[in-house]
């Protein structure tokens, strides 16, 4: 037949274990008869209250704990704004939401292009592209030099043509004067 264990013995054993944890090896030196558990709890509560009361910040937090719990409630935001204000805000953002929706649809339509083999190969050809960019920059520099030289040659050509034009104009004047002088003079009778 199973042995009947007295509940008071179980509680006493648990209290002794607790005393061992709290007081350590000195539990045997501790006179339990002089201090009751209730007195010890009362003293502990008094010490904790004294420690907390001396800390103003902790007191303020403890006093505002109800408000803190209210603010931390996920539904708190819903209580701040009434439904008409929410509707107005949504109506004000309607154009922006529609524009975002259009952009998302456009992106979805372009998804097959964005996931194409050519786009996925971009990292593989990046070195070749950078080489091409360097080559283009070099060719641009060479082209700029050639363009500058051609512009200088055109300017020089225009100067030569202008000088020829002036010279031919002066020669034309001289020849015209000589032709006028070479014509026979009419004798006046």
Q: Domain limits of the chain?
A: 7-72, 81-114, 125-182
Q: How far apart are CA 103 and CA 136, in angstroms?
A: 34
By CB atoms closer than 10 A (0-12, 13-18, 19+), residue 27 is: middle
Dihedral sign for Cα atoms in the order 157, 158, 159, 165: positive
Beta-carbon neighbour count of residue 20 at 10 Å? 13
* Residue closest to 172 by CA, chosen among 16, 156, 106, 180: 180
Q: How far apart are CA 35 and CA 71, in angstroms?
A: 44
What pTM, to 2 d.p., does this model score? 0.32
**Region class of 116: left (phi > 0), else alpha (psi between -120 and 50), else beta:** beta
3-state secondary structure the chain: CCCCCCHHHHHHHHHHHHHHHHHHHHHHHCCCCCCCHHHHHHHHHHHHHHHHHCCHHHHHHHHCHHHHHHHHCCCHHHHHCCHHHHHHHHHHCHHHHHHHHHHHHHHHHCHHHHCCHHHHCHHHHHHHHHHHHHHHHHHHHHHHHHHHHHHHHHHHHHHHHHHHHHHHHHHHHHHHHHHHHHCCCCCCC
Q: pLDDT of the chain along its 189 residues, tens only? A: 557 777 777 888 888 787 777 766 665 555 555 666 667 777 878 877 777 666 777 777 778 888 878 777 777 777 777 778 878 888 889 899 899 999 999 988 888 888 888 888 888 888 888 899 999 999 999 999 999 999 999 999 999 999 999 999 999 999 999 888 888 777 666
């Amino acid at each position: 037949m199973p042995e009947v264990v007295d509940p008071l013995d179980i509680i006493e054993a648990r209290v002794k274990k607790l005393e061992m944890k709290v007081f350590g090896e000195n539990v045997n030196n501790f006179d339990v008869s002089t201090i009751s558990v209730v007195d010890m709890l009362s003293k502990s509560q008094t010490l904790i209250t004294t420690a907390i009361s001396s800390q103003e910040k902790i007191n303020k937090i403890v006093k505002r704990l109800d408000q803190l719990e209210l603010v931390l409630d996920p539904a708190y935001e819903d209580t701040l704004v009434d439904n008409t204000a929410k509707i107005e805000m949504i109506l004000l953002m309607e154009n922006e939401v529609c524009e975002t929706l259009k952009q998302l649809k456009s992106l979805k339509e372009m998804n097959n292009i964005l996931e194409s083999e050519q786009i996925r190969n971009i990292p593989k050809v990046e070195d070749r592209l950078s080489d091409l960019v360097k080559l283009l920059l070099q060719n641009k520099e060479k082209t700029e030099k050639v363009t500058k030289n051609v512009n200088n040659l055109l300017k020089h050509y225009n100067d030569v043509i202008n000088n020829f034009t002036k010279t031919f104009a002066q020669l034309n004047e001289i020849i015209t004067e000589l032709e006028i002088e070479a014509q026979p003079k009419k004798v006046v009778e």
